[in-house]
Amino acid sequence: MCPYRTRKAFTLIELLIVIAIVALLLSVLIPALNSARRFATSAACLFNQKGLMRSYSLYIEANEGKIPGGRIIPEAMYDSLPGGDNRWPPIWVWPPVYANLAYAGTRDSDWPTIEDRYRGCQRGVLWPYNENIKLYHCPGDKQYVQPSPRNRYRSYSIHRGLAVYDSNPNKDIRTYNQITSPGAKYVFVEEYYDFGANYNYNHNSWDFEPWEGDFHDPLGLYHLEASTFAFADGHAEKHKWKDERTLKYFSDRNSYGAGSNELCAGNEDLAWLQRGCPYDMNSHGPIVFR
């Protein structure tokens, strides 16, 4: 009969070597996994942008070339109902609304729920052409998990030059054929709305005025220092920002003054946004580069 042999245990040095190898592998794998996750997020966001632009195009085809309104405010919402005075065109989404279609978020004790936010998207004129609530939210945008009223869901906005008028419609583009070089002009952007409780959703349109030569509303940085755009010809693309000042401002608008020379002078990101901006140059004036 063979005697039992005692199994030799790992020495302390061997255990430390194993732990070091595991730590090294994790240090390599975790960044790679994070990058893969960000890549998947970018792909999903580009899909959303293309889907919204497809809905936008279908609406235009069904409405004699007229584009949907981009100014998301309660006044424009109610104006699109029967009996409205038509100061605004029908808007692509509504603000958050309660089940009775009243504007949600006017009371501190009753901020909108996620269902109210969904309902606002579903009341907009693009909804019949997509009926997919996921199109309205970039998976990299985590604002919706914040406490109310910062728990915004919709990630995308339309530029202010596209049908946001009330008293002076002649200053805005109103029909698709007014958009020159549609393959180079963006319609939907990822907006990072950071005005806290003043408005509990991406209020109004994305405010950016190339004729003034400065930044205003920040954009979302959800894709490794890049943002997505949907263009008027239907394609979508991701644009990586190049100037550190842009990244700082988009992360915190208080880091610079919106129109400060310190932020804007020689900023190639600002120039890129200006060149792609859809607006009526005859009404607002030419682009001002710094």
Q: Do 42 and 141 touch, CB atoms closer than 8 A?
A: no
Q: Are 153 and 136 in contact (CB under 8 A)?
A: yes
Stronger pLDDT, 8 or 175, i.e. the higher one:
175
Give the separation between CA 206 and CA 192, rounded to whole angstroms: 9
Domain extent listing, the chain: 14-284
279, 222, 276: which is closest to 42 by C-alpha?
222
Which residues on adjacent β-strands are paired with residue 227? 239
155-159, 196-200, 229-233, 240-244: range with lowest mean pLDDT: 196-200
Q: Across 82-86, 97-101, 229-233, 286-290, which has the greatest mean pLDDT?
A: 229-233
Return the residue matching tokens 């100037």.
243
Instruction: Quick: pLDDT tens for 251-263.
Output: 988 888 767 788 8
16-20, 48-52, 178-182, 250-254 — which is least confidently predicted?
16-20
Sorted by sequence, the CB contacts under 8 Å of residue 46 that are 6+ apart come out as 228, 236, 237, 238
Confidence of residue 32 (pLDDT cuts 50, 70, 90): low
Distance CA 44, CA 36 (A): 12
Q: What is the pLDDT of residues 75-124, one digit of tens each?
A: 877 766 655 556 788 999 999 999 998 888 766 667 888 999 999 999 99
Whether the ω angle into residue 210 lies within 30 degrees of 0, i.e. cis, is no
| pLDDT higher than threshold 60 for residue 2 | no
131 by DSSP, 3-state: which? coil
Contact between residue 66 and residue 89 where contact means Cβ atoms under 8 Å apart: yes
pLDDT score for 135: 98
pLDDT at site 33: 61
